[in-house]
A and B are shown apart, each in its own frame.
Chain A
Amino acid sequence: MRHVVADPIGDRHKALTEPVFLILTSLAGKPQHGYSLLKDIEGLSEGRLRLSTGTLYGALSRLLADGWIERFAQKDTSRDKQAYRLTPLGRKGLQQELERMARLTRAAHSRMKTAEAKI
């Protein structure tokens, strides 16, 4: 299965896809099961992104294989549900992604300002 990141711990960290970024962001708040993840992601993306079940579980299986998230049986429910939560490695990966995005945002703002100054 294609991995989300080739080097999960190192600094040379590939950009995460939007579904993976949103899954990690959703799990950063609290553990979630499959359906609540879908609903939360829809809310986080302001209704713009609605993942299909196939896409969600493809991403979850890759994140599990990479050790970024873990699965556990939720105790407070009467339904057969597995919940997912971030591992410390996943939290670190999300943090690196946020820093990468912040650097890009700063660079974009800086170039916009330079371009505006020239006009």
Chain B
Amino acid sequence: MNRVVFELLLRLYPRGFRLEYGPEMLSVVERGLAERERLVSRLVFCAVEVCGLIGGAAAAWMGQFQNRTLGAAFAPASREVARLPEEVHEAKARADASLALMLQSIAAQEFEKARRYSAEERKQRLALDRLKEKYGLG
């Protein structure tokens, strides 16, 4: 039940952010919840997390908006990323997320999972290459 609620809240985040940090954030929330046995303590924890996730999602969207519109003036380190078309940015985030999951699986010696993520990463990289070609990004 709690997992479903938090998964829904994570959907408030921009897609790129969610793909990159979503599974990790969910695991942190679940560990925090599992540590609390008393009902009151669980309720307080859930309330804080819900507010934090809503506020965090708003901040992530604001950040994305700033990168798109004011990025050149206020976010010098993200200039190159801000210039990329949205679908290229998302494809890159998906490929990076698959790579991270593959490395995690290897570290955990879950090789079957690692092979799946590796295939997924190859697929995402090919899609990314096609998009780069489409936008002439080399």
Q: Are the CB atoms of B53 and A53 closer together than 8 Å?
A: yes
Given the interface contacts A34-B24, A35-B28, A35-B32, does A67 sit within 8 Å of B49 by beta carbon? no
In the complex, B98 has a CB within 8 A of chain A: no
In the complex, A91 has a CB within 8 A of chain B: no
Name B75's contact: one of A1, A33, A61, A78 (CB within 8 Å): A1
Residues of B within 8 A of A52 (CB): 48-49, 51-53, 55-56
CB distance from A38 to the nearest CB of B (A): 7
Q: How many angstroms from the CA of A66 to the CA of B75 in the assembled complex?
A: 9
Q: How many angstroms from the CA of A8 to the CA of B75 in the assembled complex?
A: 11
In the complex, B101 has a CB within 8 A of chain A: yes
**A 36-69 contacts with B by CB, 8 A:** 38, 50-58, 60-62, 65-67
In the complex, B137 has a CB within 8 A of chain A: no
Residues of B within 8 A of A55 (CB): 52, 55-56
Name A58's contact: one of B29, B56, B103 (CB within 8 Å): B56
What number of A residues sit within 8 Å (CB to CB) of B? 34
Task: Tally inter-chain residue pairs, CB-CB below 8 A.
Answer: 109
Given the interface contacts A1-B78, A3-B77, A82-B24, does A58 sit within 8 Å of B104 by beta carbon? no
Q: How many angstroms from the CA of A7 to the CA of B108 in the assembled complex?
A: 38
> Can you name 26 A-B residue pairings with CB atoms under 8 Å?
A1-B60, A2-B59, A2-B62, A2-B63, A2-B66, A6-B74, A34-B28, A35-B31, A51-B52, A52-B53, A52-B56, A53-B32, A54-B25, A57-B25, A60-B21, A61-B17, A65-B78, A66-B77, A71-B100, A77-B107, A77-B108, A80-B23, A80-B24, A80-B104, A81-B27, A82-B104
Given known contacts A65-B78, A71-B100, A80-B23, what 8 new A-B pairs fall within 8 Å (CB)? A1-B64, A3-B78, A50-B48, A52-B49, A52-B51, A58-B56, A73-B106, A78-B108
A: which residues have CB within 8 A of B?
1-3, 6, 8, 33-35, 38, 50-58, 60-62, 65-67, 71, 73-75, 77-82
